[in-house]
Structure 1
Amino acid sequence: MKKVLVFVTDGFADWEASFVTPQINKPDTGYTVQTIAIDKDPKISMGGLTVLPDYSLQDAPLEFEMLIIPGGTGWRKEKNHQAKKLVDVCFEKDIPVAAICDATTFLGMHGYLDHLKHTGNSLPYLKEGAPHYRGDEHYIEEQSFSDGCLITANGTGALEFTRDILRKLGILEEEQLREWYGLFKNGSVNKVVD
């Protein structure tokens, strides 16, 4: 099974990866979801869910297909910026990175958004949270945006974020993806929204 890693911190926004992880983890996809954190200590989400990480940064797998980084309160804590090592590996090896909400601010703090099209909670929010950010001209006002090996989303775009991830991993074909999105966005498989 090919691995997709979800980076968790104390205070991670559990709902931001809640649509995508069950779709990736279905038995027929060929993928499995595993968690990674700076260490193997249990992490407690904003919703009070306790997650025991599968990996720490010290024993991260050498091969994986994507890194998903939910937002949350943890990205304002310096200790979690150790995740930069893993993100560096992803960019060096062209492994897709998918970040949502404050995880996009974390990427902005470290220059990953300076040369790729991206989105986030808002441009002013991103600039306030990441003072060294220099990607203004590449900022796109969208719920989620994919550019090469980077997927970014604002905190209200979990469905669009999921859609972009599923497309990138090839888990659902376009018609299936439209139906899936329509179901969760509108509560009906008959009404399709692009």
Structure 2
Amino acid sequence: MKNVLVLVTNGFADWEAAYVTAEVNKPGTGYQVKTIAVDLHPKTSMGGFNVLPDYSLQDFSFDLPFSMLIIPGGTGWKSEQDQRLKQLVQYCVDHQISVAAICDATIFLGKNGFLDHSKHTSNTLPYLKQHAPDYKGEQNYIDAQSVSGDDLITANGSGAVEFSRDILSRLNVLEGEALNRWYDIFKVGFVKG
């Protein structure tokens, strides 16, 4: 069983990873979803869900095999983050483990140089530049709901369904017509005839 890690912080946007984690965690996918945080204290989402992290960055063993790191947005990304988060993302980059970040989590990636050399998106380019002053990836910015690059998937705050579609495709959980049907159900509310 392969692990997909979801980074949880206080104030994380619970809905931004909800579509994809429900699919990835289904029996038969070969994946299980686990949560990781800076410590093992419960984290409260924007919607009021309390999550007890499975793993802490304080004692995380990078020997744990995982296939992707998903980073939801939320209320805390504009403030300074624990440097262990940067180390986790750097580990993913160095080992070709996909990182998927949505909404304000892209600010964290922009502040730390992870968007400088890969195609990506965010809430808007001016917004990203305002909140990540060290960001230097403007030439790789694409104005889209979700952008899937080499080992990086990014999305804006209104692109949770597209973000999920790109993750499901990257992990080969759904593909082809099954992926298209899944997308149509969640994007337009029905399967197109």
Give the TM-score band, short-chain normalised: over 0.9
1:22 aligned partner: 22
Distance 1:128 1:57 in 2: 28
Distance 2:82 2:44 in 1: 14
Q: Answer yes or no: is the 8 Å Cα contact 1:35–1:53 preserved in 2.
A: yes
2:134 aligned partner: 132
CA RMSD between the two structures: 1.0
Q: Answer yes or no: is the 8 Å Cα contact 1:7–1:36 preserved in 2.
A: yes
Distance 1:47 1:81 in 2: 26
Distance 1:58 1:8 in 2: 14
Distance 1:54 1:103 in 2: 20
Q: Answer yes or no: is the 8 Å Cα contact 2:72–2:103 preserved in 1.
A: yes
Shift in Å, 1:81: 4.6
Distance 2:36 2:79 in 1: 17
Gaps of 5+ in 2: none
Q: Answer yes or no: is the 8 Å Cα contact 2:121–2:142 preserved in 1.
A: yes
User: Where is the helix percentage greater, Structure 1 or Structure 2?
Assistant: 1
Identity of aligned residues (%): 61
SS in 1 for 2:6: strand
1:186 aligned partner: 188
Residue correspondence of structure 1 range 109-124 to structure 2 within 5 A: 109-124=111-126
Does the alignment pair 1:34 with 2:40?
no
Distance 1:77 1:134 in 2: 19
Q: 4+ residue runs of structure 1 moved beyond 4 angstroms?
A: none
Gaps of 5+ in 1: none
Deviates more, 1:8-17 or 1:69-78: 69-78
